[in-house]
Structure formats: C-alpha cells, structure tokens
Structure 1
Amino acid sequence: MTTPKTFVTLGAGQKLFEALHMAQTLRIGDRVETSGQGWDDDLAIPEGIEEELEQAFRNVELALAPAGATWQDVVHVNSYHVGSFPPEVNGTIARLFRHYMPARPPIWTQTGVEALGLPAMRIEIRVTAILA
C-alpha cells in the first residue's frame, strides 16, 4: 500500500495549515491532488476576476511543485465559481490552459457554487495530476 504524503506551501499555505489544519497538496503514489485559490500570501483576493484566475493558476503551480508535479502532469481540472460564467472567465481559463498545458488539454468540469472559503473568493481550482 502506498502511504499518502501531504505538502504545505509557504505563505498562504502555511497560514491555512495553522488555522484550519489543511494541506494544499496530497500525493499517493503517482497521483497528486491539489487545490488552488486566487489569493496572495496574505490571503488577499485581487479585485479583478482575471487577476484572481491568474493567481489561482500560479498557486496551483506552487502547490504541485513540492509533490514533484507540474501543470504538464495535470489530467483533470475542477473549477468552482461563485456567480455566473461570464465570457471573460472561460476565455481567461482557456488562455491559461494553453499557457500552462500547451501539449495536452485537461478534462475540465465547471461548477457554480453559492460561496467559497473566503467572502471575496470567486474561483477555486482543484486538479489531479498523474506522474509518469
């Protein structure tokens, strides 16, 4: 049996671990699971949705790294959205997929939700990566 290993990033990840006893990343064998939010190290959310999405993608990248994964290893993305799906949301996510995963697109599930972990959050991204 493979033993699960958790990882906590510095900054926001460490703050959330201390406050909520949660890890951002879990690796079990060749499978890596993580979730990323659009906050900075002080848990501040950008004013614009595009900036929040860009920050969330950077945070996923940071969360994957300690487990030995990158966006290139991602096979599935779940995005959770507060409110509707305006064109700039899908357009920004598609642009970021092309930037971070140019060789292979992921499967992607979008889900609308009433609220997320912080009142100002509009997006959360959860990914599954498989290491070759």
Structure 2
Amino acid sequence: MKNFGYNQAVRVGDRIECSGQGGWNPETGEFYQDLDEQIDQAFKNVDINLRDAGGQGWSQVYKISSFHVPLDMEAAGAMIRNFAKWMPNHKPIWTAIGVAGLGGTTEMKVEIEVIAHDEQGAKAAKGGQ
C-alpha cells in the first residue's frame, strides 16, 4: 500500500485500528469501477492492513464503520455478503453512513474503517510479557 504520510493501521495495546480503506488496487492505486468490486477490494485492503499491524485479520474485528456514495441497497447487500465471507463465525457492530463524497475523487464509492481486538498479538508485541 502506498504511504501517504500516515499509517494505514496502528496497534495500541490489544487494539488495532485500521484507517478507512477504499476499493483501490493496492498495486496501482486505481479504483475498481464496479461497486461490488470496490467493496470486495476494500474488505481485502482492510485484511491486508490488519495483518500488517500484527493481527489475524477480520476474525478479530468488533467494530465497523462504513461510508458510502451513495448508501443504497446495492451497497448494503455487498457489505452483508462480505460480512458472511470474511467473518463467518462472529458478528461485529456496524454503522453505515451515506456521504456526499470520499477521498477527494468521484471514483471512490466506499470507505471501511475497523477496530479489532488482538490480545495475543499485544502480548507478542510486548516480548511475551
């Protein structure tokens, strides 16, 4: 992922907070044009960044905030489909918000921000203490 002068995810103790992830290709930075593809890729980007911060991915997520242009049934359906794919064994809390724009571009249709709990990773980060 490109570095824009901030971290995509940070660990604070046993929490990992992931900044808003959109449906961009991590290799090229280009946005997928199809809404389903953007949402699918945003979920992949969240997973990449949680793991880069030492977590285990979506299985540790307990809070999701998503921002949509627009927030409609197509967007909600794609989100719910990805919840079932990435988190088949638990159901975090979710807030979905419709917004006028994202990321300063008309191409960006979704942004997903999460908080995860990673007790084991926090112990490992402290050197096993």
Structure 2 runs not aligned, ≥5 long: 120-129
* Matched AA of 2:59: Q
Give TM-score, length-normalised by structure 2. Answer: 0.84
The alpha-carbon deviation at position 67 of structure 1 amounts to 1.6
Task: Name the counterpart of 1:78.
Answer: 65
RMSD over aligned Cα atoms:
1.1
Work out whether 1:38 is the aligned partner of 2:18.
no
Task: Name the counterpart of 1:103.
Answer: 89
CA distance in 2: counterparts of 1:118 and 1:101, whole angstroms? 30
The alpha-carbon deviation at position 68 of structure 1 amounts to 2.1
Q: Is the 8 A contact 2:68 2:75 kept in 1?
A: no
Aligned residues: 115
Work out whether 1:58 is the aligned partner of 2:44.
yes
Q: Tell me: higher relative CO, structure 1 or 2? Use CA pairs within 8 A at least 6 residues apart.
A: 2
Work out whether 1:92 is the aligned partner of 2:68.
no
Give TM-score, length-normalised by structure 1. Answer: 0.82
The alpha-carbon deviation at position 77 of structure 1 amounts to 0.3
* Matched AA of 1:44: E
